[in-house]
Structure 1
Amino acid sequence: MVTRRAWRWGLGLGLPLAVLVLFLALFRWDWLIPIIESQAAARLGRPVTLQHLHVSLGRTITVTAEGLRVGNPEDFPEDPPLAFLPRTRIDVALKPLLRGDIVIPAIELEEPRVELIGREDGRTNYAFDTGGAGGGGEEAGGPQIGALRIRDGQVHAAIAGLQADFNIALNTEDPPEGEPALLAEARGTYAAQPITARFRGGAVLNLRDAERPWPVKLTLANGPTRIALRGTVRDPIKLAGADLRLDIQSPDAARLGPLTGVSIPPTPPFRATGRLDYAEGRFRFTDIEGRLGNSDIAGTTTISLGGRTVLTADLRSRRVDLADLAGVIGGTPGRAGTPGQTPEQRRAIAERQASPRLLPTSPISIPRLQKADIHARYHADQIRGEGMPFDGLEAIVDIEDGVIRLHPGKFRVGRGEITADATLTPQENGMLRAKADIELRRVDISRLMQAAGAGGAGTIGGVGRIETAGRSVSEMAGNADGELTMVTVGGNISSLLADLSGLQFGKALLSALGIPERAQIECLIGDFGLTRGALRIRTLLLDTDSHVVTGSGVAGLGREVLDLRLRTESKRFTIGSLPTTIAITGSFKDPTIAPEVGELAARAGAAVGLGVLFAPLALLPTIQLGVGENSQCERLTEAGRGQEAERLR
């Protein structure tokens, strides 16, 4: 009886044990491969295959995968796949796993291969849709990864949208003391320029340890552009807690466009250094110190990623050369002799100087501006340049959906300023439609005179507007409509004309007009109309203590040609004092002055006092604009009104 009972008990326990022993003896971890493949493929949205799987159990579970292949999405070639890992070893700590935590002390990758493909239409083989799964991190239950070791890893990237085709070699280095460091070297092309880069980072063991900053050292050369980045990051997974120093050097800041994703106008040689960090989806470049051609630059820039790129900049200069900013309006930036210029930049500047045109004829690239929104504020304490009458510059620019708004742009001139509020809207045909309101507020004549090496006093005030469309500044000038009215009180005529028109030309103009070099300005009133690029003098009166000058004619802004007439009348009759009319013709860049042929013989006699036809009746409301009370100009206007009434009787 006991024997039968023992036999039954033995069969009841022994048979399951025997089956279990037999199962364990015959079990192959490869039997789990179909389950792993299907789950991984469903999560990654890519076909996943695995050749062999082996698991070694113990206090540390070691999982070895051989021939792991992650394929490409549909409509991409099967070979090469997105990733192929000949052999991967993963150590998993058993005790934390029993508590539901995943701790991976080490990962070893042998000869991993990654192929990144980006097509012209924007589709890639590396953009994953994981069903909106959270972004990892310990808060989301992600694994705690220890040391990562890579041997002979290779990444090939061919991304058409970036004009990039480069290879990255990945390895880890085991120093005599400490944890393995991550090394990467890149070679190939990026933005159609040769690229080389070398990166050295800390151990992956420190990636999630906020108490152990992760060291970063990167040097990169993309064509002639050089970038160096070094420092630490406290949380590399989130790119947070960065303490990085960024140094950039390039012969043209426009070359940074492909690297930043934001279009930048052409510039002269550029270099900058500052602090780089990342927070809340924004890269911030702060404490900037640098040079742009002959100008210094400082301030802060921020680039927000995710969706539409947004660039915010708050920049300032102690001294700026306006020639360095010419690329903003399609001109050739910089001056001859600026250190660091490329041969192409030197040739472009030589061509600009040799050109008979003053206004830039190169198209302003508006389609590139539509790729990002830009909000920029710029302040310059001083504007440098030979004969430059401006003392400072302020500008606030917003570019949204390609529409550019300047509100306002200010040039300081002594105690006054010239302001402009403008809107520039790109058109589908590639043209740019512009509208601007301009105001001159107490512009200091003494500051204008100082630029010409003379002294004086007085102010200029005025208002203007302009509407136009075109692909370049020159074409826009040739299509412009608008008007300008201004008034001047006080000052010195020789210095004023010399500075407004160039010192040598100004003296020649004074000589031709027959005005003493130190004649005092009583009043200057100008009213100009602009129709399809033709700037026509509607009324021009310059009253000095001894002469009255009136003007007529037109300046063609599109072709940059002059056809102006200025006539001088003496207030006091003297022997030989004859009315004189001179012609100003030629181009903006090379004007000529000559008396009207036969004018002296045809107009013998003198005009005494205000014996000239002058009817600025519509200007009276604008005379006080920007210059305060102007009794002399008002008296002239009243005299003109009386003269007009007398003529109509």
Structure 2
Amino acid sequence: MSQRRVPRWLLWLGVPVALVVLAVLLFRWDWLIPIVESRASAALGRPVQIAHLQVHLGRVTEVTATDVRVGNPDGFPEAAPLAQAPRATVQFDVMEYWHNKAVVLPLIELEHPQVSAQATADGKNNYTFSTGKPAGEGAPAESKSAMPRIDVFRILDGEAKVLIPRLKADFTLGIATRDETTPEPRIAVNAKGTYAGQPITGEALLGGLIYFQAQDRPWPLDVKLANGPTNVAVKGTIAHPLELQGADVQLLLRGTDMSLLQPLTGVPFPRTPNFSLGGRLDYADGRARFRDFDGKVGSSDLTGTITVSTGDDVPDVTADLRSKKVDLADLGGFIGETPGRTSTPGQTAQQRREVAKDEQRSRVLPDTPISLPKLTAANVHLKYQADSILGRDVPFDGMRTTMDLENGAIRLHPLSLQVGRGQISGDIALTPQENDAVQARADVQFQRVDLSRLMRATGFQGSGLIGGRAQINSSGKSLADILGRGNGALSLSMAGGGNLSALLVDLSGLRLGNALLSFLKLPDRTQVECFVGDFSLRSGQLDTRALLLDTEDVLITGDGKVDLARERINYRIRSQSKHFTIGQLPAPITIGGTFRDPDVGIDATEAAARGGAAAALGILAAPLAILPTIQFGVGDDNRCQSLVSRGQGGAGRR
């Protein structure tokens, strides 16, 4: 029997088939790891390592990578890798892609992933990625909107460690998905550690990735965060979370001091008493808005809207705020004082101690240095209005201001305080200097200021309208420093038609008999013929150029200096009755001591008797010399003008 020979063509076909079968039997998916690592490393800009790779082929193909590690960028100090996971699984729907060219991932699952986001003291970090071209640039229009569909995204016991020295941040995030509350897994996050040097704790329940893909299902979020004494609660939904559009979110802020919000918001706030604010939060066109909020800051109410634009290097903040009632003590942080009072509701024990200490210290003018870093942290445009002002002995009825803070320079244009039918308003500018000081300029107008409101704060009575102007140009590191170095002037006047409590005038001349009658309310007022006060400010020394009060029965003048740098007073007030009065002691009153503890006494060395009009005109020599140069409506009143004429005539007769 002859042996049959194998056809040559079958031999040529069988060898390749055998080789393919052999390759399939011996093939290991790990052989593809170098290719995967290379492409992943190039995409992330960080070395990527995979220990093993397994693939289960099928209609839905499953790829599993074990011991995945994403390292830090080149040049970053040796530290824990950016990310690592013992196991990562991705499922890919092959048939969906074959029929519809759609990328569908039924499952992405990460087991025990760990992330270590770190920064160094010089600002380098391992978590900033360079994206190169903007997403989709140069791609066909139809591919820009094509995104993978992810049915289930699951994280099993993940953890993220955050260490950023510049932010004084060292906290850990626990991250996991929950399946028990909704059909789709929700992402649960908890935080613990420190941020901005304060303890931080928090928890959040967020919608999973499926919400990012469903146009008709807004992304839910429920966040509660405590950073030191500050508490933040955010709850609601976002219609388009990838664009942060269509937010329907309620934001509640509570804490002991709004200045502690800066690390959380990037917006600089002055020191305040305790606060509680609630309102709506939304985001559109690159701007976050905290709108229609209302709440309390200390004893004051506050409503309005704050808008923050974050597209530039420095945030741009626009705020439109209003208070129906405000306690000026709550605004003390704006000028470097300790805000609030010991009686302010909700103050912490520490805040009460600080206020009490501030009230007992020897200095009165605020000497807290102006924080230049806070001034440059954002550009701020503020409109604020207070309908009424609370506080013991406060002479102001209302307040409004427009403030612009740009590149560290502050402008208030104007700051206006209502006093009765008139107002005190002015333009104020603070410009940073290289030596951590600020250049300060202020021009303040007193327009028909109601004397009755000012006198009410002194315990006396009076009526009439005061006008005038104050100017200052100075530099310093605090309000006390600025005033203690200042140059400028102050002029005030009240021409005819007003009146003052007779007790005030009588005490200024030590007219003991009439003072007693004034206590008995007989008489209780004296007519003001003319009032002028004119002062110069040189290097913090407020010097009297003229102080004159002419009433129907007494002439009062004053001279002396007020040292704003040392907060000391050296002043003398002289008076001369136009008529003989029993009980008058024609001795000057001296005012000395400090702002916190002034001394009032009698200058017994100057007790020479004066008589009648000649003596009265004698004490008017200095005021009459400067009175014609003051132009705030004083010269237009015939009573002030007649006083000038009398003085000039009297001087000519002597």
TM-score by length of structure 2 reads 0.90
1:383-414 Cα shifts (integer Å, max 9, x gaps): 10111110111111111221111111111111
Give 3-state SS (helix, strand or coil) of 2:25's partner: helix
Against the structure 1 CA distance between its residues 431 and 79, is the aligned structure 2 distance closer, same or farther, given a 3 Å change threshold?
closer
Identify the match of residue 177 of structure 2 among 168, 172, 184: 172
Against the structure 1 CA distance between its residues 438 and 52, is the aligned structure 2 distance closer, same or farther, given a 3 Å change threshold?
same
In structure 2, what is the Cα distance between the partners aligned to 1:102 and 1:637? Answer: 95
| 1:562 aligned residue | 569
Against the structure 1 CA distance between its residues 228 and 138, is the aligned structure 2 distance closer, same or farther, given a 3 Å change threshold?
farther
- Give how far 1:48 is off: 0.9
CA contact (8 A) 2:509 2:589 kept: no
1:519-546 Cα shifts (integer Å, max 9, x gaps): 1111111111001111111011111111
Against the structure 1 CA distance between its residues 553 and 28, is the aligned structure 2 distance closer, same or farther, given a 3 Å change threshold?
same
CA contact (8 A) 2:547 2:623 kept: no
2:26 is equivalent to residue 26 of structure 1:
yes
Give 3-state SS (helix, strand or coil) of 1:367's partner: helix
CA contact (8 A) 2:116 2:162 kept: yes
The sequence identity of aligned pairs, in percent, is 46
Identify the match of residue 193 of structure 1 among 182, 193, 198: 198
Against the structure 1 CA distance between its residues 350 and 33, is the aligned structure 2 distance closer, same or farther, given a 3 Å change threshold?
same
Against the structure 1 CA distance between its residues 480 and 617, is the aligned structure 2 distance closer, same or farther, given a 3 Å change threshold?
same
- Give how far 1:21 is off: 3.6
Bigger drift between 407-416 and 627-636 goes to 627-636
Identify the match of residue 416 of structure 1 among 422, 427, 430: 422
CA contact (8 A) 1:117 1:157 kept: yes
Against the structure 1 CA distance between its residues 44 and 509, is the aligned structure 2 distance closer, same or farther, given a 3 Å change threshold?
farther
Give 3-state SS (helix, strand or coil) of 2:307's partner: strand
Q: How does 1:107-118 map to 2 (within 5 A)?
A: 107-118=108-119
1:566-586 Cα shifts (integer Å, max 9, x gaps): 111222345776644211112
2:339 is equivalent to residue 333 of structure 1:
yes
* Aligned-partner residue type, residue 174 of structure 1: D
Bigger drift between 155-164 and 356-365 goes to 356-365
Q: How does 1:111-190 map to 2 (within 5 A)?
A: 111-134=112-135, 139-175=144-180, 178-190=183-195
Bigger drift between 452-461 and 477-486 goes to 452-461
Against the structure 1 CA distance between its residues 576 and 385, is the aligned structure 2 distance closer, same or farther, given a 3 Å change threshold?
closer
| 1:502 aligned residue | none
In structure 1, what is the Cα distance between the partners aligned to 2:410 and 2:653? Answer: 51
| 1:367 aligned residue | 373
- Give how far 1:14 is off: 5.2
- Give how far 1:78 is off: 4.3
Against the structure 1 CA distance between its residues 220 and 507, is the aligned structure 2 distance closer, same or farther, given a 3 Å change threshold?
farther
| 1:240 aligned residue | 245
Against the structure 1 CA distance between its residues 521 and 53, is the aligned structure 2 distance closer, same or farther, given a 3 Å change threshold?
same
CA contact (8 A) 2:509 2:575 kept: no
In structure 1, what is the Cα distance between the partners aligned to 2:14 and 2:152? Answer: 44
Bigger drift between 508-517 and 149-158 goes to 508-517
2:278 is equivalent to residue 270 of structure 1:
no
Aligned length: 634
2:604 is equivalent to residue 597 of structure 1:
yes
Q: How does 1:250-269 map to 2 (within 5 A)?
A: 250-269=255-274
In structure 1, what is the Cα distance between the partners aligned to 2:204 and 2:507? Answer: 64
Bigger drift between 177-186 and 92-101 goes to 92-101
| 1:586 aligned residue | 593
2:215 is equivalent to residue 210 of structure 1:
yes
1:430-455 Cα shifts (integer Å, max 9, x gaps): 22221111111111123334555776
| 2:107 aligned residue | 106
| 2:521 aligned residue | none
* Aligned-partner residue type, residue 196 of structure 2: A
2:44 is equivalent to residue 36 of structure 1:
no
Q: Runs of 5+ in structure 2 lacking a partner?
A: 519-523
- Give how far 1:417 is off: 0.8
In structure 1, what is the Cα distance between the partners aligned to 2:559 and 2:181? Answer: 86
In structure 1, what is the Cα distance between the partners aligned to 2:629 and 2:336? Answer: 38
In structure 2, what is the Cα distance between the partners aligned to 1:206 and 1:597? Answer: 87
Root-mean-square deviation (Å): 2.8
In structure 2, what is the Cα distance between the partners aligned to 1:346 and 1:75? Answer: 50
In structure 1, what is the Cα distance between the partners aligned to 2:506 and 2:125? Answer: 67
2:613 is equivalent to residue 613 of structure 1:
no
In structure 2, what is the Cα distance between the partners aligned to 1:282 and 1:200? Answer: 24
CA contact (8 A) 2:280 2:292 kept: yes
| 1:304 aligned residue | 309
Q: How does 1:635-646 map to 2 (within 5 A)?
A: 635-643=642-650
Bigger drift between 159-168 and 574-583 goes to 574-583
CA contact (8 A) 1:164 1:191 kept: yes
Against the structure 1 CA distance between its residues 493 and 207, is the aligned structure 2 distance closer, same or farther, given a 3 Å change threshold?
same
In structure 2, what is the Cα distance between the partners aligned to 1:429 and 1:67? Answer: 54
CA contact (8 A) 2:508 2:575 kept: no
* Aligned-partner residue type, residue 72 of structure 2: N
In structure 1, what is the Cα distance between the partners aligned to 2:321 and 2:182? Answer: 45
CA contact (8 A) 1:614 1:640 kept: no
- Give how far 1:182 is off: 0.8
| 1:446 aligned residue | 452
2:401 is equivalent to residue 400 of structure 1:
no
CA contact (8 A) 2:277 2:293 kept: yes
| 1:465 aligned residue | 471
In structure 2, what is the Cα distance between the partners aligned to 1:53 and 1:526? Answer: 90
In structure 1, what is the Cα distance between the partners aligned to 2:385 and 2:460? Answer: 28
- Give how far 1:168 is off: 0.9
| 2:86 aligned residue | 86
2:548 is equivalent to residue 541 of structure 1:
yes
- Give how far 1:494 is off: 2.0
- Give how far 1:52 is off: 1.6
Against the structure 1 CA distance between its residues 598 and 606, is the aligned structure 2 distance closer, same or farther, given a 3 Å change threshold?
farther
In structure 2, what is the Cα distance between the partners aligned to 1:56 and 1:346? Answer: 68
- Give how far 1:477 is off: 1.5
- Give how far 1:180 is off: 1.1
Against the structure 1 CA distance between its residues 177 and 383, is the aligned structure 2 distance closer, same or farther, given a 3 Å change threshold?
closer
In structure 1, what is the Cα distance between the partners aligned to 2:473 and 2:374? Answer: 23
Give 3-state SS (helix, strand or coil) of 1:97's partner: helix
Identify the match of residue 498 of structure 2 among 487, 491, 494: 491
Against the structure 1 CA distance between its residues 7 and 645, is the aligned structure 2 distance closer, same or farther, given a 3 Å change threshold?
farther
- Give how far 1:636 is off: 2.5
CA contact (8 A) 1:227 1:247 kept: yes
TM-score by length of structure 1 reads 0.91
Q: Runs of 5+ in structure 1 lacking a partner?
A: 499-505
CA contact (8 A) 1:548 1:569 kept: yes
Give 3-state SS (helix, strand or coil) of 2:263's partner: helix
* Aligned-partner residue type, residue 36 of structure 1: V
* Aligned-partner residue type, residue 178 of structure 2: E
- Give how far 1:161 is off: 0.9
Give 3-state SS (helix, strand or coil) of 1:350's partner: helix
